[in-house]
């Protein structure tokens, strides 16, 4: 309902003549229009400010330093056609980030009955070579050995080409279950000791949601879909979850980021500490040897204790 032009507060201020009344109402209408225009511009400013903040966060996430490893299921239940969908999904995810030595690096491992290493984090340092490398990943049928895949990632994937100041993100895509829940629990325990954030995507009816939630790092890090054609529907949600992990992480500060040639200084410090430790150990050994010799010499120089005189048999007793 629009506000009335004449209110009880303004009724007494209306002029008496017709000309003056006309001028009064024109001025009132102009004042209302100015107020409406001001409110409109304030509303537009708030909308644009929110859009700017949102775009700023997106840009920050896109350029952040991340080490992303994909662990892709290539078991017999997946099939060659569906695996192409997995590769397209992988390319869509990596395309949301800036690929480069100072931004996001991507490594990919595939697993069936055994693990197949595809490429390490530091191999493809630009988008073009990365997408080409993803297209060349072969499909290899077999079982669903999730345990072997997790073990390989923990021991190798983030160490080969990984960066200490980067977010560690693992994306597991599978349509099956593990062979051994106990072995999986052991690998998950090892994962928790690292700073790797795990996202799980379960495809189809044969996955174990509880198992995937146990492997994943958080409650919202597990996505369940009905088939591989639905992978494209998870891209935006997964990207947002990864960005949230990046914003919440406080990057550690290392001296090597501020001191040029810190690697050589680190080696020099370790060498000096080693030399000091060896010298201190040698001094302790020498002191122990000298102390033992001194005690032995004192024992030799110590006069033998004389035996007490025996009382003669004819000595009078009292």
| Domain-embedded: residue 242 | yes
Do both 136 and 227 map to the same domain? Answer: yes
- Which pLDDT score, from 0 to 100, does residue 295 have? 79
Of the residues 249, 264, 298, the one at which a domain ends: 249
User: Can you give the pLDDT at residue 282?
Assistant: 86
Same domain, 18 and 155: no
- Residues 23, 106, single domain; the answer is no
- Say whether pTM exceeds 0.75: no
Q: How many structural domains are present in the chain?
A: 2
Which CATH number characterizes residue 88's domain? 3.40.50.410
Q: Let me know whether 74 and 215 are in one domain.
A: yes
Kindly state whether residues 85 and 144 are assigned to the same domain.
yes
Do 112 and 88 touch, CB atoms closer than 8 A? Answer: no
Q: With a cut of 70, list the residues of the chain below it in pLDDT.
A: 1-58, 246-264, 301-313, 315-318
On whether both 87 and 55 belong to a single domain, the answer is: no
The pLDDT, as a whole number, for residue 285 is: 86
* Beta carbons of 119 and 129 less than 8 angstroms apart: no
Structural domain ending residue among the three candidates 206, 234, 249: 249
Is there a single domain that holds both residue 225 and residue 91?
yes
Residue 45 sits in the same domain as residue 83? no
Task: Provide the token pair at 191.
Answer: 């994962």
Cα 191 from Cα 198, distance rounded (Å): 9
For the beta carbon of residue 122, count every other beta carbon within 10 angstroms: 14
Please give the residue range of the domain that contains residue 140: 65-249
Q: Which of 19, 37, 59 is the last residue of a domain?
A: 59
Q: What is the DSSP letter of 138?
A: P
Say if 96 falls within a structural domain: yes
What does the pLDDT read at residue 51?
40
């Amino acid at each position: 309902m629009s506000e009335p032009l004449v209110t009880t507060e303004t009724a007494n201020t209306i002029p008496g003549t017709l000309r003056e009344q006309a001028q009064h109402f024109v001025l009132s209408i102009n004042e209302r229009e100015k107020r409406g225009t001001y409110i409109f511009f304030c509303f537009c400013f708030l909308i644009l400010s929110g859009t700017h903040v949102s775009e700023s966060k997106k840009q920050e996430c896109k350029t952040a330093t991340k080490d992303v490893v994909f662990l892709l299921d290539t078991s017999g239940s997946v099939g060659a056609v569906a695996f192409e969908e997995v590769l397209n999904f992988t390319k869509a995810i990596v395309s949301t980030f800036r690929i480069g030595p100072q931004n996001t690096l991507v490594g990919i491992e595939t697993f069936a009955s055994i693990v197949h290493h595809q490429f390490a984090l530091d191999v493809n340092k630009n988008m073009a070579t990365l997408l080409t490398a993803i297209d060349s990943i072969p499909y290899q049928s077999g079982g669903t050995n999730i345990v072997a895949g997790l073990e390989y990632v923990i021991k190798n994937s983030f160490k080969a080409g990984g960066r200490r100041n980067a977010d560690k993100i693992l994306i597991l895509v599978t349509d099956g279950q593990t062979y051994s829940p106990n072995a999986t629990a052991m690998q998950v325990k090892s994962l928790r000791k690292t700073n790797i954030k795990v996202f799980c995507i379960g495809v189809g009816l044969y996955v174990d949601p509880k198992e995937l939630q146990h492997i994943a790092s958080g409650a919202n890090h597990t996505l369940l879909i009905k088939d591989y054609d639905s992978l494209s529907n998870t891209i935006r949600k997964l990207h947002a979850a990864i960005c949230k992990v990046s914003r919440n992480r406080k990057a550690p500060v290392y001296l090597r980021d501020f001191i040029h040639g810190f690697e050589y200084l680190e080696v020099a410090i370790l060498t000096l500490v080693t030399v000091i430790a060896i010298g201190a150990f040698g001094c302790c050994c020498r002191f122990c040897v000298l102390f033992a010799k001194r005690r032995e010499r004192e024992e030799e120089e110590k006069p033998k204790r004389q035996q007490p005189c025996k009382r003669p048999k004819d000595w009078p007793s009292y």
